[in-house]
Amino acid sequence: MMIAIPDVLNAEQLARVRAIIDAAEWVDGNVTSGRQAALTKNNRQLADDSPVAREAGGIVLDALGRCALFIAAALPAKVLPPMFNRYAGGQAFGAHIDNAIRIRGDFRMRADLSATLFLDDPDAYDGGELAIEGTFGEQRIKLPAGHMVLYPSSSLHRVEPVTRGARTASFFWIESMVRDDAARRSLFELDGAIQSLGARVGQGDAAIVQLTGVYHNLLRRWANN
**Tens digits of per-residue pLDDT, 64-118?**
999 999 999 999 999 999 999 999 999 999 999 999 999 988 899 999 999 999 9
Same structural domain, 102 and 198: no
Same structural domain, 71 and 104: yes
Domain residues for the domain of 186 are 181-222
Same structural domain, 188 and 171: no
Same structural domain, 145 and 203: no
The region of weakest confidence among 102-106, 119-123, 198-202 is 102-106
Which one-letter amino acid corresponds to residue 30? N
Domain CATH number, residue 110 = 2.60.120.620
Q: Which of the given ranges, 19-33, 36-50, 200-214, has the highest pLDDT on average?
A: 200-214
pLDDT at res. 36: 57
Residues facing residue 148 across a β-bridge = 5, 117
Domain CATH number, residue 210 = 4.10.860
Same structural domain, 83 and 143: yes
Helix (H, G, I), strand (E, B) or coil at 152: strand
- 126 annotated among ligand-binding-site residues: no
- Residues 98 and 175: beta-carbon distance below 8 Å: no
Neighbours of 118 (CB within 10 A): 25
Same structural domain, 91 and 187: no
Same structural domain, 171 and 185: no
Banded pLDDT at 33 (limits 50, 70, 90): low
- 96 annotated among ligand-binding-site residues: yes
- 147 annotated among ligand-binding-site residues: no
pLDDT at res. 105: 85
**Tens digits of per-residue pLDDT, 145-195?**
999 999 999 999 999 999 999 999 999 999 999 999 999 999 999 999 999
Domain count, the chain: 2
Same structural domain, 56 and 163: yes
- 62 annotated among ligand-binding-site residues: no
Same structural domain, 14 and 34: yes
Domain end (from 139, 155, 176): 176
pLDDT at res. 30: 77
Q: What is the DSSP letter of 82?
A: P
Q: Dihedral (C-alpha) 94, 129, 104, 182: value to the nearest 10 degrees?
A: -100
